[in-house]
Amino acid sequence: MKKQIVCLMAAGIMAGVSAVAMASGAPETINLMEKYGIKGKKPAVIFPHKLHQEKNKCTDCHTSDKGGALKVKIEKTTGMSNDFHKKFCWPCHVEKKVPKGKACGTCHKK
């Protein structure tokens, strides 16, 4: 009986450790222009992923709390009405009232 409890505890700790390892295994920043192979005129957006992990829930953006696929399908990547602006980055910045959340220089840094 006692042995079983110890085993369960050990399994719990292991699960906790691997969850942490997953989270820290995620990239700290992501060059989205490069990742999506966009050939544009604006400076590439270097997405501060770690900051977003700290300030949001994983499932605000991903379909699972381990990361992976995004909830929003990014199809249009050119022009001003691209899916990052219209469906992903801007709506949340507006909703969460991020200061200068729609200012070009916030994301397209020279």
Q: Does residue 50 touch ligand HEC according to CB under 6 A?
A: no
User: Which span sits near ligand HEC by CB under 6 A: 1-9, 10-18, 87-95?
Assistant: 87-95
Q: Does residue 83 touch ligand HEC according to CB under 6 A?
A: no
Q: For residues 3 and 41, which CB has a smaller minimum distance to ligand HEC in the complex?
A: 41
Distances (CA, A) of 89 to 6, 25, 43, 48: 45, 23, 16, 12
Q: For residues 9 and 91, which CB has a smaller minimum distance to ligand HEC in the complex?
A: 91
* Interstrand relation of 62-64 and 30-31 (parallel, antiparallel or unpaired): unpaired
Q: Tell me which residue has tokens 């192979």.
A: 37
**Hey, how many other C-beta atoms are within 10 angstroms of the C-beta on 110?**
5
The residues binding ligand HEC (CB under 6 A) are: 22-23, 26-27, 30, 32-33, 35, 38, 40-42, 44-45, 47-49, 51-53, 55-56, 58, 60-62, 66-67, 70, 77-80, 82, 84-85, 88-90, 92-93, 96, 98, 102-104, 106-108
